[in-house]
Chain A
Amino acid sequence: MAPAPMNGKREVVIEARDIVVGFGNHLVLDHTDLDVYRGEILGFVGGSGAGKSVLMRTIIGLIPKRAGTIKVFGVDMGEATDSERRAVERRWGVLFQQGALFSSLTVMENLQFPVREYLNLSQRLLDELAIAKLEMVGLDASVCQKFPSELSGGMTKRVALARALALDPEIVFLDEPTSGLDPIGAGDFDTLIATLQRTLGLTVFMVTHDLDSLHTVCDRIAVLAEGKVIAAGTMETMLASEHPWLKSYFRGKRSRAGYQPQGKAAT
C-alpha cells in the first residue's frame, strides 16, 4: 500500500482542532491542530517535553483537554455518549512506552484479555489467535506462558504491540516504539510496523525520536514545538524547511548525511 499522494482528499480518521491542554499555569498544547489520514504511518516528533505524548494521550482520552474538538472516525469524542466512545475505543490499539503489559498475567492472558472481554469466543480460538498474533509480531508460542517480568525489552515491545493489535484495530498509537531497542532491534521493529500496516491496513500514529524510523517507515511527519504542530508533511518537506528547529532536528549532527536527498540539503 504505497502512500497516497498528499492531495488532502483522503479520509481523515483523526481530526484534532484547536486543542488546548495545560497543567496549572503551564500550557502544553496551545490551540494546535492535527489530521491523521487513513492508511498512513504518521511520525510525530518534537523536543523532549514538547507535549507529543500529551497530545497522544489527549486524543485517546487519558488527559482532559481545556478546549478544542477531537474527532475520531468522525465521532466527536467530547460529545460522544459512553457507548459511542467505547465503540471507537474498540477500533484503536495503544502501545505504551513501557509496554504496560499486565504484570500479573502471562503473555497469553495479556493477549487474550481484551478479546475475552469484548467477544465471546471459544478458548481454542482465543489460544490460536494469541499464537497467530505472537507470530505476526515475530515471536512464537514458546513465550506464551511467560510473565512480562521475564521478557527482554524488545520482546516486551513486541508482545505489547501484539496486544495493541488484539482486537484488529484500525488505528494504532505507538508511543516511542523503538526507544530502548538496539539499532538492529529498532530496525526490525520498524519493518514489523510497516509489514503489519500493509497486511492489516492500519493507520499508525507513532510518537518517536528515532530519525531512522522517520526515514524508513513514516509516510508523513508532524512536528510539535512551542505547543503547536508547526509542520506536517513528508520527509522531503521537513528536510527542505528553513525553520530553525526543523533544521537542527532533521539536519543536525545526529541525522545522517546518507539520508540527505542527493546530499544537497545538508550543505
Chain B
Amino acid sequence: MVGSVGDEILLDDSVQGSNLALVGAGAWIAINARGLEASIQTLIAKYPSVKKVAIDMDHVERLDTFGAWLLERLVRAFKARGCETTVIGLKDDYKALIDELGNVKLEEPPRIGGQAFSYALHSIGENIASVGNSFAAIVNMLGALVVAWLRVATRPRTFRMTSLVHQLDNVAWRAVPIILLITFLIGCIIAQQGLFHFRKFGADVYVVDMVGILVLRELGVLIVCIMVAGRSGSAYTAELGSMKMREEIDALRTMGFDPVEVLILPRILALIIGVPILTFLGSMAALYGGGLVCWLYGGIDPDIFLSRLKEAIALNTFEVGMIKAPFMALVIGAVACVEGLAVKGSAESLGRQTTASVVESIFLVIVMDGIFAIFFASIGM
C-alpha cells in the first residue's frame, strides 16, 4: 500500500502474476499532488515487469488538472514500457479533462546552459561590446541633436518653447532647494576639515584659499552634475523609456515628427541652460557654508574671509568651473536620452536602463572632469 497522504489512501496496488491492479481513491487534487506524485513514481519503479495494468478510478471523489495529469503520467509510463494499460470507472465529468491532457505533447523545454568558463568569457565579451555600443549610441545621439538643432535654427518657430520652459521648471527651478542645501553642507564640511588639519600648522587662513579654489573649480560643478544625473537624468530615461514602451515615440514618428526634435532637444537644452545656473548657485551656497564655518568654528571674521578670498581666486577660477557645466549637462542629457530610447518592452528593462543611465552619466561626468583638468592645466588656466 503505497499512495497515502496523511490518513487518506489515494492509490492502492495489488499484483496477480503479471497483472497489476491499481485502485485510486479520495481527492486527486492540487493539495495532494505532492504525495500522489511520490507514490506514482514509487509504483512505476516498483513494478518494472508487469504486462497489464488496470487503473480503477471509480472511488476517486475529486479530480483536477493536477490529479488528472498524474494519472496521465502513470498511464504514459506504463504504456511506454509496452504494458496494456486501461483506466476504468472514470466519472463522465472528468472524461473531457483526461482526453484534453491525453493530447498534451511533452517536449522538454530547451534549457539554455553551457560551460561556466565559456559563459564567463561570453559575458565579458558581451560587456565590452556593449560599452562600445553605448559609446557609439551617445555619439550618434549627439549627431542627431546637431541635425535637429540645425533644422530648428532654420525654422525657429518650430522650436518647442513650452516644452523647454516646462523642462527648465523641472530640472532647474525645482532642483534649486536641494542643490543649495547639499552644496551648502559640502562647503561647511570642507571648511571644517580644512580648519581642523590646517590649524596644526598654524595655517588656518589658507582654508579660505582651499575652499574657494576647490569649490569654484571642481566641487561645485561636480556635486551639481551628480545631483542632476541622479535627479533629472533618471527622470528623462524613465519618461522616454515608458513612452517607448507604450509606442508613443513610434506614434510621433508616424505623424512625421522627429522624436529627437520634439522630445530630446528641449530636454537637453533645458539641462544645458539649467546646469550652469545651478552650478553658480551651488558654488555660492558652498562658499557661504565655508565662510559660515570659518567664522563660527575657525574664528575667521567674514571681512577677513572675503578679502582673503579675493586674493586667493581670480576670475578664471570661477570660469573653469562654469565652462565645464554645459558640457557636463550635454553628456548627462545625451546618456539619459540614449538609455531611455534603449528600453524594451518590460518593466525590468526600464529599471535596468534607468540604473545604467545614472551610473554611466556620473562616470562620464567624472571622466570629463579629469580631461578638463588636464586641458586647463596645459593652457595655464
Contact = CB atoms under 8 A, between A and B. Distances in A.
Interface stretch (B96-104, B207-215, B228-236, B310-318): B96-104
Contacts of B110: 145
A103 interface: yes
Given A125-B33, A167-B30, A168-B29, A200 B97 contact: yes
Given A121-B34, A131-B107, A145 B112 contact: yes
B103 A135 contact: yes
A248 B380 CA distance: 83
A135 B37 contact: no
Interface in A184-223: 195, 198-201
Interface stretch (A70-78, A136-144, A231-239, A252-260): A136-144
B109 A119 contact: no
B96 A129 contact: no
Given A120-B34, A127-B109, A135 B346 contact: no
A108 B108 CA distance: 12
A115 B33 CA distance: 11
Interface stretch (B62-70, B270-278, B298-306, B358-366): B62-70
Interface string B6-38: 000000000000000000000001110110010
Contacts of B34: 119-122
A96 interface: no
Contacts of B346: 103-104, 147-149
A83 to B, nearest CB: 15
Most buried by B among A121, A142, A168: A168
Interface string B43-69: 000000000000000000000111001
A104 B69 contact: no
Nearest to B99: A199
B73 interface: yes
A167 B64 CA distance: 9
B105 interface: yes
A133 interface: yes
A12 interface: no
B348 A141 contact: no
Contacts of A147: 345-346
Contact of A135 (B33, B64, B66, B105): B105
A145 B110 CA distance: 8
A198 B109 contact: no
A230 interface: no
A266 interface: no
Interface string B100-140: 11011111111010000000000000000000000000000
Given A119-B31, A149-B345, A149-B346, A168 B109 contact: no
A135 B104 contact: yes
B197 interface: no
Contacts of B345: 103, 147-150
Contacts of B103: 135
A108 B69 contact: no
B109 A145 contact: yes
A128 interface: yes
Interface residues of A, number: 35
Interface string A112-125: 00010011111001
B109 A131 contact: yes
B33 A119 contact: yes
Given A119-B31, A148-B346, A168-B64, A136 B73 contact: no
A201 B104 contact: no
A129 B66 contact: yes
B322 to A, nearest CB: 43
A201 B112 CA distance: 37
B105 A144 contact: no
A16 B70 CA distance: 37
Contacts of A118: 30
B73 A128 contact: yes
A60 interface: no
A129 B97 contact: no
A199 B97 contact: yes
B64 A128 contact: no
A103 B351 CA distance: 12
B181 to A, nearest CB: 36
A246 interface: no
Contacts of B93: 201
Contacts of B251: none
Nearest to A106: B109
B344 interface: yes
A145 B109 CA distance: 7
Nearest to B38: A122
A204 to B, nearest CB: 16
B347 A104 contact: yes
Contacts of B109: 108, 127, 131, 141, 144-145
A172 to B, nearest CB: 13
Contacts of B348: 103-104
B33 A168 contact: no
Interface of B: 29-31, 33-34, 37, 64-66, 69-70, 73, 93, 96-97, 100-101, 103-110, 112, 344-349
Given A104-B346, A140-B105, 13 more contacts: A103-B347, A122-B34, A127-B109, A128-B73, A129-B65, A129-B66, A135-B103, A140-B107, A144-B109, A145-B109, A148-B345, A148-B346, A149-B345
20 contacts: A103-B348, A104-B348, A121-B34, A121-B37, A125-B70, A128-B73, A131-B104, A133-B65, A135-B103, A135-B105, A136-B104, A141-B105, A141-B106, A141-B107, A147-B346, A148-B345, A168-B65, A200-B64, A200-B65, A200-B97
Which 8 residue pairs of A and B lie closest in terms of their CB atoms, listed nearest first? A149-B345, A103-B346, A104-B348, A168-B64, A144-B109, A199-B96, A141-B107, A135-B104
